Structure 1
Amino acid sequence: MNGGAETAHLLVVDDDARLRDLLQRFLTKQGFRVTAVADAAAARRAIAAMMFDLMVLDVMMPGESGLSLAESLRRDGNEVPILMLTARGAPEDRIAGFEHGVDDYLAKPFDPRELALRIRTILRRAAPAPSAQALPAAPVQLGTRWFDVERAELRGPEGIVRLTGGEAALLQALARHPGEVLSREEIAAALGTPEAGERAIDVQVTRLRRKVEADPREPRFIQTVRHRGYVLRPGP
């Protein structure tokens, strides 16, 4: 994964030919490499042939939906960041996207400049640069696993544990403040999605717990603090 906005290779998947062409031209002018396809089947062929840094994926398409494609990719271990486009911007639609492993959500109609801004935010999140103003954070122990805060990388006896960009950013935000309660609003701001609702953050936490906790229903490391938010409690 490149991580740099100017060299990032994007896959745009949308059955609307006019919007697809507009996005391809606009994002190319923004400095991205862009491959554009019309449906999930074409997206699968492109993914099999090339590496992408981020996918811009429409929800409603003929045949396989964007949500189904996203869920399938995550199930197969493909953690390419996904920005979902939808004509439906209700909170339940956002939550459905996050439940399927999507990193961010943008409702149609949208300003292309906002799309480019969100893409760059996700790419920075996927490959975080060390801060010159902060000391490097020490790795955090979570049972038999260790989380490298600076690289946003989770390792265990089985090797690297695959995290989506959103999951890695969430764990990174918590790990930078171990033992400190972060509100859902603070977490959303750290993820670069300040408009995300409380339920959307809860869904992201639930997904992350499945990869961190031995029993996600009885979390040991990522704990809920009622009426306040979440806290990371590292330990062996």
Structure 2
Amino acid sequence: MSSPGDSAHLLVVDDDARLRGLLQRFLSEEGFRVTAVDSAAAARQAISAMMFDLLVLDVMMPGESGLSLTESLRRERNEVPILMLTARGAPEDRIAGLEHGVDDYLAKPFDPRELALRVRTILRRAAPPVTTQALSTAPVQLGHSWFDIERGELRGPEGIVRLTGGEAALLQALARRVGEVLSREEIGAALGTPEAGERAIDVQVTRLRRKVEADPREPRFIQTVRHRGYVLRPGP
């Protein structure tokens, strides 16, 4: 039985030659196709030439940092899922990654098995689920936009609104339980990151509101319920 994400093409970006080689070998043994480069500049060249399903990206590199590369890719509307590797495990550092558009983070040193598990979790979130008539769910209206729950696709007046894997998973979790308040713990579990702190969930919600709400400071659809969590209230 194949695991989610098998045969996915990963781009590993790390300036540490030894770690880069270890990551490439381990992830290849786990069934992934792996390209490895040593800098953000090399990553840009690879991304311009090939399609990748996920980036495994070191945050601290000579020249352009992983955070800067992530921010640039998101500005360019490149929503390739990104798993950030960081030697800084403090909550504020992980939150900074989420604010820049990272999907998940893993602090060094890490167990290679956890790396593979997180990669597969991100790929599972990012992949369009197999749909059948029995599983079909009516799209949810969010003002002038519509969200297809099963496809994880948000479509506005000008076409598809690009969501990261984490943003799509968050909106799916809320849309599947319209009108119900989801705690931050429930949201973290739905995103596949049950260890995520409250602040990390809040950051994801803030990012999603920028793509859903006309005025993110006065959210109409994704509402905060004080001391409890968040609730989705769709409508025209």
TM-score (norm 2): 0.96
- Quote the Cα distance in structure 1 between the aligned partners of 2:190 and 2:219: 22
Which runs of no fewer than 5 residues in structure 1 stay unpaired?
A: none
1:128, distance to aligned residue in structure 2 (A): 4.3
> Structure 2 unaligned runs (5+)?
none
Q: Deviations over 1:195-231 (max 9, x none)?
A: 1000000000000000000000000000000000000
Q: Secondary structure at the match of 2:195?
A: coil
Following superposition, the deviation at residue 127 of structure 1 comes to 1.1
Aligned residue number for residue 86 of structure 1: 86
Q: How does 1:46-65 map to 2 (within 5 A)?
A: 46-65=46-65
Give yes or no for contact 1:5–1:120 (8 Å, CA) kept in 2.
yes
Instruction: Determine the structure 2 residue equivalent to 1:186.
Output: 186
Partner of 2:107: 107
Tell me the distance in 2 between the aligned counterparts of 1:36 and 1:43.
8
Deviation at 1:6, TM superposition (A): 1.4
SS in structure 1 of the partner of residue 106 of structure 2: strand
Once residues 197 and 93 of structure 1 are traced to their aligned partners in structure 2, the CA distance between those partners, rounded to angstroms, is: 12
Partner residue in 2 for 1:151 = 151
**TM-aligned CA deviation for residue 138 of structure 1:** 1.6
- The number of residues matched between the two structures is 233
**2:77 corresponds to:** 77
Inter-partner Cα distance in structure 1 for 2:4 and 2:34: 14
The residue number in structure 2 matching 1:177 is: 177
The aligned counterpart of 2:206 is 206
Partner Cα distance (2:55, 2:135) in 1: 33
Partner of 2:6: 6
Q: Aligned partners of 2:7, 2:178: CA distance in 1, in Å?
A: 34
Show the counterpart of 1:231.
Answer: 231
Looking at structure 1, the residues matched to 33 and 204 of structure 2 have their Cα atoms a distance apart, in angstroms, of: 29
Find the counterpart in structure 2 of residue 140 from structure 1.
140
How much does 1:183 deviate?
0.2
Asked if the contact 1:149–1:176 (Cα under 8 Å) also holds between the matched residues in 2, the reply is yes
Name the SS of the counterpart of 2:124 in structure 1: helix
Residue 129 of structure 1: how far off its partner (Å): 2.5
Tell me if the contact between 2:131 and 2:150 (Cα under 8 Å) persists in the aligned partners: no
CA distance in 1, matches of 2:130, 2:93: 34
Cα deviation for residue 135 of structure 1 reads: 4.0
What's 1:126 paired with?
A: 126
**Identity rate of aligned residues, in percent?**
86
Superimposed CA distance per residue, residues 92-130 of structure 1 (whole angstroms, 9 cap, x where no aligned partner): 011000000000010000001100000000000001434
Decide whether the 8 Å contact of 2:8 with 2:33 is kept in 1.
yes
Structure 1 stretches of at least 4 aligned residues deviating more than 4 Å after TM superposition: none
CA RMSD of aligned residues (A): 1.4
- Name the structure 2 match of 1:18: 18
Residue identity in the other structure for 2:113 = R
Quote the Cα distance in structure 2 between the aligned partners of 1:91 and 1:11. 25
1 CA distance for matches of 2:57 and 2:173?
A: 26
Contact in 2 for aligned 1:169/1:191 (Cα 8 Å) = yes
Question: Does the CA-based 8 Å contact 1:130-1:136 persist in structure 2?
Answer: no
1:156 Cα shift?
1.0
Structure 2 counterpart SS, 1:147? strand
Q: C-alpha distance in 1, partners of 2:60/2:157? A: 40
